[in-house]
């Protein structure tokens, strides 16, 4: 993917500073910076096949066009990240495109990766709570996909606990993958005309 085809999200869609009472230092949750991208990419590759492998140029494009791209960092390391898109970008993921075809007002969670040594320590929940706050005044729902084939039962259980429910399934990668397309309605968010 060439960054020449990517568009920036308007500044009004950028994420506000975190407001969290989580046990982690709130300063550890921040917007991604250009010098983070190499470490974000390394962390991403540790999570394949649960997320797709992404090259450095694509991560640069994500930084330019994602409405939400935040990291949790400590000691100079990237411990976790989450990327979210609003409708109307040039991003061509088949799952993002499905949401664009079926909903008019959403924040699509493209990927979340938490370093394995930090699993089950609340970092995923911290990021999801933060993106939900971000989405609250911008969208009527959060959307995401979770792999069914290859199976990712931990992620599916996490999303269900956080209030997501399946609205469809979709095969991708020529049938090599099947995903659960999931949504969570945002209480008090703007009304979505498409329902």
pLDDT tens digits, one per residue of 118-137: 988 999 999 999 999 999 98
Whether the pLDDT of residue 154 is over 50: the answer is yes
Structure tokens at 25: 């230092």
Q: Which residue has the higher pLDDT, 164 or 152?
A: 164
Q: Which residue has the tokens 């009004």?
A: 12
Q: Which residue has the higher pLDDT, 168 or 22?
A: 168
What would the pLDDT profile of 50-79 be if each residue is shown by its tens digit? 888 999 999 999 999 999 999 999 988 999
- How far apart, in whole angstroms, are the C-alpha atoms of residue 11 and residue 133? 16
Structural domains in the chain, sorted by start: 3-185 (3.40.630.30)
Whether the pLDDT of residue 13 is over 50: the answer is no
Quickly state the pLDDT bin for 188 (edges 50, 70, 90).
Answer: confident
Whether the pLDDT of residue 143 is over 90: the answer is yes
Of all residues in the chain, the percent with pLDDT exceeding 90 is 74
Within 8 A by CB and 6+ apart from 174, the residues are none
Q: Which residue has the tokens 């992404």?
A: 54
């Amino acid at each position: 993917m060439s960054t020449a085809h990517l568009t920036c999200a308007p500044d009004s869609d950028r994420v506000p500073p975190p407001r969290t009472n989580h046990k982690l230092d709130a300063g550890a949750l921040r917007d991604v910076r250009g010098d983070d991208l190499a470490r974000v990419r390394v962390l991403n590759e540790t999570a394949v096949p649960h997320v797709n492998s992404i090259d450095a140029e694509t991560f640069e494009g994500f930084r330019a066009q994602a409405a939400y791209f935040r990291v949790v960092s400590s000691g100079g390391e990237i411990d976790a990240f989450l990327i979210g898109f609003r409708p109307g970008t040039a991003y061509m993921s088949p799952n993002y495109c499905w949401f664009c075809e079926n909903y008019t007002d959403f924040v699509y969670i493209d990927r979340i990766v938490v370093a394995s040594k930090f699993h089950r320590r609340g970092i995923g929940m911290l990021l999801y709570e933060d993106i939900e706050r971000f989405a609250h005044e911008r969208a009527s729902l959060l959307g995401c996909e979770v792999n069914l084939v290859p199976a990712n039962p931990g992620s599916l259980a996490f999303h269900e606990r956080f209030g997501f429910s399946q609205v469809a399934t979709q095969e991708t990668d020529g049938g090599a993958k099947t995903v659960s397309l999931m949504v969570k309605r945002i209480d008090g968010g703007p009304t979505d005309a498409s329902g």
